[in-house]
Amino acid sequence: MNIETIVVGPFEVNCYLYWEPESKTGVIIDPGAEAERIINTVERCDFQPAAILLTHGHGDHIAAVEEIRKKYSIDVYIGIGEEALLANPSENISVLVGQPIIVSPAEHLVKDEQLLQFGKIELRVLSTPGHTVGGVCYFDERNGILFTGDTLFWGSIGRTDLTGGSYEQLLESIKTKILQLPDSVICYPGHGPRTTVGGERINNPFLTGGYLV
């Protein structure tokens, strides 16, 4: 599998292009801004997007969805419970930065442990609420790759002070969904550098302070 990371927008969101080179089929994960740049990168990488996958519905992760959706005539996938964030700029906090974002309803609301297949790409949905009500991660078990959105970062975790956030629930999500995976799994977060499950298990101060021991 091939991965291309595009850091987009003022909040430096990691938009991921993930594709299988032989079939040239792939997905776009969290197109948060700069639709034209994302499209140009897709064309350079020479693959056909089959879907837009959203880890959650905050404005910094969804601003380019509509333009890319229209360009490629593809469906949007997001976790159950995130519907209001797509539809309401107050809920997705885009109104707070003066750029209200509204996204049409997702064609697919995904649930925990659901298996998504796009050509040779298989991704298992892991429900990880806490940053938002219906946040999810996408896990490629065969290739040991996890797209964590704003659930888990290198040395940190997602903020929980916004609507629908819960610190206790986020830690529980990480404990029951992410820390159950092999240490070798590579985590691609919504912001910042990639990491591994094992690295965060040992070094992340939020995960070593007693709650998850």
Tell me which residue of 99, 15, 112, 118 sits closest to 61, measured CA to CA: 15
Cβ atoms 211, 35 nearer than 8 A? no
pLDDT tens per residue, range 173-188 = 999 999 999 999 999 9
Which pLDDT belongs to residue 40? 98
Which pLDDT belongs to residue 91? 87
Domains of the chain: 2-203 (3.60.15.10)
Query: Which residues fall within 8 angstroms of residue 192, CB to CB, at 6 or more apart?
Result: 14, 153, 154, 156
Q: How far is CA 73 from CA 25, 138, 178, in A?
A: 14, 22, 32
- Stretch 158-179: mean pLDDT: 94
Which pLDDT belongs to residue 211? 52
DSSP string, 112-130: TT-EEEETTEEEEEEE-TT
Tell me which residue of 75, 23, 76, 77 sits closest to 47, measured CA to CA: 23
C-alpha–C-alpha distance, residues 93 and 102, integer Å: 11
pLDDT tens per residue, range 100-143 = 999 999 999 999 999 999 999 999 999 999 999 999 999 999 99
Using pLDDT thresholds of 50, 70 and 90, give the confidence band for residue 92: confident
Give me the chain's average pLDDT, please. Answer: 95
Tell me whether strands 186-189 and 195-196 are parallel, antiparallel or unpaired: antiparallel
Sign of the CA dihedral 88, 91, 97, 98?
A: positive
